[in-house]
Chains A and B, each alone.
Chain A
């Protein structure tokens, strides 16, 4: 059937066709470049995001064992399979000769840090024979510390060996404000029993590359150990990054679907441009089967070359993105992965196979008489039942594979449904357009030619309409979704997070404190609330420890004293999920509870909580639930009480202060004036969180812009499908007396008549689908960037006009006769 000679003919034909094939190669390449770039970007960003969260935690996992260390047997078991660094954290007071300051101390072992870098100035190694201490810059500033100066913790002297510029595992450690690092062996000189309830033994754990045993499995029997992985580092960050990665996979699927459109159009162009050649082959006695093999061979060879080339280029591009965008978002050492290339090639082959069968069926329609009669009439092609069946088969395989490998199978499947609905809708839409054009009765020659063109090229117009419709729907969908996600990320940025928290402001100090802040910075934004302490002892008269287990996600709510507050109005960043705000007539204790706690404890409105406030048990009624966003780092409370009751109990004030940007603030005076006030510095963690979100923001914007740009190119290129037919017709128009500008006007009006209704419809469709996707699948707030969408649509129309104008003007102003002979 296929002999060596034939393979030789195929190869020769492939190289002889290089000019024709180069155009197709470009389309293939563009489509596959989008897909492979998104895949490479996705993997690269996943790696980097994972690295960021691992860095914030200080390892892949963090085990907390509370006041007591982990038993040696268990520790040995962990050490066998993982790298581990042991840390002890505690709150204490650091003193110099004259002053003191509350700080959080981290005592570390020789393995610290397992990931990331500890930056100290001046760079100096701790001396082994002394108790060394590194302090954060603020502590150094407040206590006016110098290198080698001695400070005291409890009764032990420590030598200041450096100031901390940055440390990797800031997560949670930050919330205690000022901090210091000491060596673990120095702990021997401290009295651990006097370190209070904030003492915690922590273990940072990194996976051993040779071992993939799950830590959670290894420690499943140890109920007292709390294990956190880098994935659940921070709920909001994690939600953002998970959704972002899901969004990336949606974008990569969309890019593959766009690639599919590109592939389909290029195949049609290729077969069309080889029409004469195929007829000649047939006239020379080459069988239908061999002609098909000849074409398929060239197409597959092209696919292999272009996929390889596009994959290599996408790696090169991604590896250089950090330099281009001056960021460290992307992995700059991304390497060729045969598996990934194979996945790209296989998925593109499945897409190719989806369309190949119906397109090769077209080859049967080219016959020798066409060649002899110089027939340049459009091909009539439509999918018969057999073709539809085969297309559906391959499409089902493609949908199944990509949905299964996606992290969110169900949601990915829904995106495909959206794609299929788009295909069907725009198929009928193009039919409807043709139907409407049929009723256009006019004596105007321009409009009559347009009507004739739309009718004559209805087959191609259907493909163009479907390509444009699906392409635009995907592009708009990606755009609206990405701007909603980016808007959410932007909101998650801690732009409004305060710089400091001040706790323990007494009633009598309140006015003085406010005045002092105003003196420091008159533009400082401050929020000062009244607070008290309470412990939840009973729920509906049942002791909490009997009905709430330690494993409950909201156990913290009943574990010890909680700060409570009262406010006249609902806090700005909270909203009610159930119930009403305070009943001002009632003098009894009313409670507003965190919605998530209520859910975890299965609380209902009207339930009674017994609170121990200042040693007295008081029963309060839950009258509403609130959605509380703790991630914005502003003042938030899980329990709010009604002001009528709150004003009757002893209280102090809690303040959050955000100073003006770029203003250098010296807190030393403030701290000296208010020795009883404790303050927490939030600036480092705010910066770290914002850096992380900035990366996600930039990555999302970059990828979606890239796919949108290529998507528009693919849509634009769909008009190239009928270019050769149109060129021929336009040449005859010119011979018969139509001027080039008249012909271009006809082409442009025709393109606008086809594309504007499609742009409008795909915009409507993608608006609805993105609304559902963002609100109900991603769970973010939907954001509609109307102006930018208008700009994108206008840019597309202007680009399309320019492309059509330039390509046709070039053809129409060239020598007519030589052009005609070439066509």
Chain B
């Protein structure tokens, strides 16, 4: 969360690419299906792919690999329901 202060466009693009790849690979692991990486609009909760436990694992990955802290009640599940929304939220937060 502190290493993104640079405003260079390149750095930001790199950063976004990193967030995207970290989240997609983490989701693939947690949900146990590659579908999440193919369909970014997939509703993870509605399809039973992500639950509280999976969410905790995702937050851990975000903490360990991206250095971002997400509190359990920070995001409503509706606003974090698809891979695309998760990535978008994190990009906004990293900025």
Partners in one complex: no
B residues near A (Cβ < 8 Å) are none
A residues near B (Cβ < 8 Å) are none
